[in-house]
Every structure is written in C-alpha cells, then in structure tokens.
Amino acid sequence: MAAMHNIFLIGLPGSGKSTIGRILAQRLNKPFFDIDVLIERECGEHISTIFEHYGEQYFRSCESRLLAQVAQSEGNAVVATGGGVVTKAENRSLIRSRGVSVYLMVDPQTALDRLNRQHHEKQAQGEVPEIRPLLIGSDPLKSLRTLLQDRSIWYEDAHFTCSTLNKSVQRVAQEIIAMFISSGELVGEPPILDVQRIHVDKGYNAVVEWGGLGRLPLHLKKLNLPPRVFLITDSHIHKLYASMIMGTLSSAGFEPQLYTVPAGEVSKSQEQLSALYDWLIKQRAERGEAIIALGGGMVGDLVGYAAATYLRGVPLVQVPTSLLAQVDSAIGGKTGINHVMGKNLIGTFYHPRLVLVDPATLLTLPIRERTEGWAEVVKYGIILDTELFARLEEYADTLREFTNPPATLLCQIVMNCIALSRSGAGATE
Ligand SMILES: NC(=O)c1ccc[n+]([C@@H]2O[C@H](COP(=O)([O-])OP(=O)(O)OC[C@H]3O[C@@H](n4cnc5c(N)ncnc54)[C@H](O)[C@@H]3O)[C@@H](O)[C@H]2O)c1
C-alpha cells in the first residue's frame, strides 16, 4: 500500500509497543519486527537469561546491531524497540534517519499494572513468565520511575507522541494512524491521486488522494482563498484528526478556526445549525472565507447547509471521512438538516469549491460505519455498473475485513462511485 518510512515504536516496558506494533503493521500492510524477539531468537535465550549470563552491555550491543539490520534492510516496516533503545546515541540517530518514531506514553504505575497482569495471564496459561531484567528487585515501581526519568528526554523527542492511558490497544493504533494521515506522513508512493471535474455551477474538482488529508493546505491554496478558514467537524473526528490538521494549516500560512459539534445524527438539527451561525457571526466570518466540512455525512450535510445560507453562501470545501460520505453524500451538492417531524426535511443544493476525499481515513472508520458505506457501494454496482460489482465480489474478503487494505483499489472504487453518482444525479440538477 502506501508508503512512508519505517515506524519505530519507543516507550517504557508496558507501554504496549509489541501489541500495538502488530496491529499497526496489519492495518498499514507493513512487515513487523520486534527487536527483543529477534535478540531472543538469535541468542536462543530469554532476555533475562542474556542479561544474567552476559550482562546488559552485551544485550545492548545485540540490540543496536539488530536494530541497524532491520532499519537498513527494511524501508517500510513497523519496529517495536526495547524500552532502552533510546539510551544510545547511535540508535537514536539511526531511528531518525530511517523512519519516524512514535512514543507510546504511559505512567510507571500503569505500566507496572500492565506488566503484572501479563505476568499473571502467562502463569494462568501454564507458562513460566520471565521477569524483565531492569525490573528485578524489591521495588519495580521505583525502577520504572527512574527509567522514565532518565529516558523521558529521548522519548519526548519522538516525531509523534500518543498517550496510551485508559485506551484499548485498538484505539491507540487508530489514533496513531490518524496522526500519520493528518500530518501528511501517509502518502502513496508513487502518489495515488485522481481528479474528476464536476461540471455544476462554476465547476469544481473531486480529488481522491491516498493521504490527501495531510495535503489539505496544498489543495486549498489552489483555490486562492483568504487565509482565514473555518474548520468544522464532529467530536469523534476532532479527537482523531483536528489538532494535527490545525497545525498543518497554520504552518502553511492559513489562520484556521475550529468548531466541533457532538458526533451523531442528533447534531443535524436546527439547534446545532443556530449554534453554528452564532459562532460564525461571533468570528465575523466574511463572504469570501471558506468553511471546511471535515467528517461523515452528518457533518457534510449540516455544515454544507450552514455554508449555503450564512451570508447567502460562502465557499465550502467538503472533506468527507466516512465511506458513505466519500462515495455519496459529499458529492452532488445536497445539504440539509433534520426536523423533529422527519429526516432531511430542510435543505438545499449547494455545491462546494472542492471535494477532497482521502480513502486512507477509512483506516480509522469503525467497522459498522464501513459496512454501511459498502452497502452504498454495492448498490452502485448492482444498479449502475456490473464491472464494479464484479470487482467488489472479487475483493470482497479484503474489503470487508479491511486487513491489509489495498490503497489503489480503494481509491479506484471511490472514484468509480463518484463518477457513477454524478451520472445518476445529473437528472436532478
Ligand atoms: N447529502 C446527501 O446526498 C446524503 C446522502 C446519503 C446520506 N446522507 C446523510 O449522511 C448521514 C450519514 O452519514 P455517515 O454514515 O457518514 O454518518 P456520520 O457522519 O454520523 O458518521 C458516522 C460515524 O463515523 C464517525 N466517523 C466518520 N469518519 C470517520 C473516520 N474516518 N474515522 C473515525 N470515525 C469516523 C463519525 O464521527 C460518526 O460517529 C446522514 O445524516 C444522512 O442523512 C446525505
């Protein structure tokens, strides 16, 4: 799939590097290496025994050698490093030059609780779990605190930091992927990009680009908009993507303002619309300044309607993040809100200046929403395009399970649906 560089996970023992690394590798379709496992395999002994027999220095030299081997032979792998890998300058510079580092943050008490839990689980399964060498002693919590104190300066120097506190490993992986996407790290290599001109009103582009969200500022620049832009999203997308996108927009010279509505269909309401108008008025948003709708169909419909009606219409950019929104609701210009007496009763047609679709965002979309989106795609296949339907059948398992999702195929399917929706929607305009 798409490339980026190696991903090195760093952090204390108990931060989840191996488990999260495995999930990331699978979701991003990359090979996975666990340096501790490689050392054990090479030496034929557990880490604790290696420490006991040969000492820490010997272990560290094996660690550096195997890290260098993996980092130099692989350009696109996920690597779980040992907690102490950052203590050596040569390892740190290797990691910096051969990829991106992600610091999995955990406090010493939580790390210890996790390590104890793992220990008991292994015992319950009849295994003889080893005790991590640097934690042997009467006060492992104190040891972890000291390790963190000594190493935090290097951990915090990572390219990305993700807290693991009170989060499932799946959630941490989801947040890391969102960081990669929104920071522009996850672009296709070669770029996977397709543009379709939609000839309605003044005409606009529907851009489908793997990793395109991270290049949002570049796409906006082509529209010659004033620097102030109003990014509107929902609470789920906010947590995953907003801060990084605000950062990339600011670095590119934009002055982004952020507004967040609660996630869920309930926000497609008169109340939320009024609150949105209030916010825009307080911001003194002007006619030429653009509103960016970042999210699924709910955000696209609500924000699209606000853009259509505020000051009798301001520039709108649709950045759909759910499959349904990418193949359907962000295309065609339908915007609106629900009324207590029925769904979508109030609305209008309003076309954006740009639709930027990044199918990589589907990597963080929950399964249920993905399935709903696929239902829409299958409908296109059945009604409008037998070739698309045959393709969906051929790749059904991959697309449904979303294991190692093929970036090019996803982009092609989304673009295919956009073209079909345009041909199907033509009659209504
Ligand atoms: N305008 C149209 O032509 C049109 C067509 C079809 C549907 N719709 C409307 O679209 C709405 C349904 O769209 P929807 O299914 O996208 O619902 P939604 O916008 O409520 O999104 C579903 C959930 O997925 C989350 N989400 C979205 N993208 C994500 C991502 N990349 N990663 C993680 N979470 C993500 C959202 O936060 C939300 O919790 C309905 O309001 C429907 O009426 C409009």
Q: Which atom of ligand 1 is nearest to the CA of 299?
A: 19
- Of 319, 318, 331, 299, the C-alpha closest to 417 is 331
Per-residue model confidence (pLDDT) at position 207: 97
Spacing, Cα 345 to ligand 1 middle (Å): 17
The ligand 1 site (C-beta within 6 Å) comprises 234, 236-237, 240, 263, 265, 268, 295-299, 301, 321-322, 324-325, 328-329, 332, 334, 344, 361, 364-366, 369, 372
Angle at which helix 270-282 crosses helix 297-309, to 10 degrees, equals 60
Whether the Cβ atoms of residue 354 and residue 319 lie closer than 8 Å to each other = no
Whether the Cβ atoms of residue 331 and residue 322 lie closer than 8 Å to each other = no
Report DSSP state, residue 222: T
- Per-residue pLDDT band for 428 (boundaries 50, 70, 90) equals very low
Spacing, Cα 323 to ligand 1 middle (Å): 8
Angle at which helix 47-54 crosses helix 56-73, to 10 degrees, equals 130
CA–CA dist 264, 107 (Å, integer)? 33
Per-residue model confidence (pLDDT) at position 427: 34
Question: Measured between alpha carbons, how far is residue 388 from residues 5, 378, 402, 412 in Å?
Answer: 32, 8, 18, 10
The residue type found at 156 is E
Q: In this predicted model, which residue has the larger pLDDT, 111 or 3?
A: 111
Smallest CA separation from ligand 1 atom 34, residue:
365
pTM for this structure? 0.93
Per-residue model confidence (pLDDT) at position 80: 97
Segments making up each domain of the chain, as ranges: 6-166, 193-428
Res 202 pLDDT > 90: no
Whether 6-166 and 193-428 share one fold: the answer is: yes
Please give the average per-residue pLDDT across 63-69, as a whole number: 96
Spacing, Cα 422 to ligand 1 middle (Å): 19
Q: Which two tokens stand for residue 79?
A: 């690597």
- Of 65, 63, 166, 160, the C-alpha closest to 106 is 166
Q: Which atom of ligand 1 is nearest to the CA of 323?
A: 16
The CATH class that applies to domain 193-428 reads alpha beta
Spacing, Cα 328 to ligand 1 middle (Å): 10
Q: Which two tokens stand for residue 108?
A: 């010493």
CA–CA dist 53, 34 (Å, integer)? 22
Q: What is the pLDDT of residues 282-339, one digit of tens each?
A: 999 999 999 999 999 999 999 999 999 999 999 999 999 999 999 999 998 999 999 9
Res 1 pLDDT > 50: no
- Per-residue pLDDT band for 406 (boundaries 50, 70, 90) equals confident
Q: Whole-number mean pLDDT of the chain? A: 92
- Per-residue pLDDT band for 110 (boundaries 50, 70, 90) equals very high
- How many angstroms separate the first and last alpha carbons of the chain? 37
Q: Which two tokens stand for residue 36?
A: 């501790």
pLDDT above 70: percentage of residues in the chain = 96
Per-residue model confidence (pLDDT) at position 338: 98
Q: Which two tokens stand for residue 115?
A: 């390590």
Spacing, Cα 263 to ligand 1 middle (Å): 9
Among 3.30.70.1520, 3.40.50.300, 3.50.50.60, 3.40.50.2300, what is the CATH number of 6-166?
3.40.50.300
Per-residue model confidence (pLDDT) at position 237: 98
pLDDT above 90: percentage of residues in the chain = 80
Report DSSP state, residue 265: G
CA–CA dist 429, 425 (Å, integer)? 7
- Per-residue pLDDT band for 189 (boundaries 50, 70, 90) equals confident
Whether the Cβ atoms of residue 183 and residue 214 lie closer than 8 Å to each other = yes
Res 425 pLDDT > 60: no
What are the DSSP calls for 111-178, one per residue?
HHHHHHHHHHHHHHTT--PPPPGGG-SS-HHHHHHHHHHHHHHHHTTSSEEEE-TT--HHHHHHHHHH
Please give the average per-residue pLDDT across 142-148, as a whole number: 94
Res 185 pLDDT > 90: no
- Of 189, 236, 175, 242, the C-alpha closest to 213 is 242
Please give the average per-residue pLDDT across 344-360, as a whole number: 97
Per-residue model confidence (pLDDT) at position 135: 67
- Of 246, 239, 190, the C-alpha closest to 213 is 246
Q: What is the pLDDT of residues 234-277, one digit of tens each?
A: 999 999 999 999 999 999 999 999 999 999 999 999 999 999 99
Other CB atoms within a 10 A radius of the CB of residue 90 amount to 10
Spacing, Cα 332 to ligand 1 middle (Å): 15
Whether the Cβ atoms of residue 203 and residue 422 lie closer than 8 Å to each other = no
Report DSSP state, residue 326: I
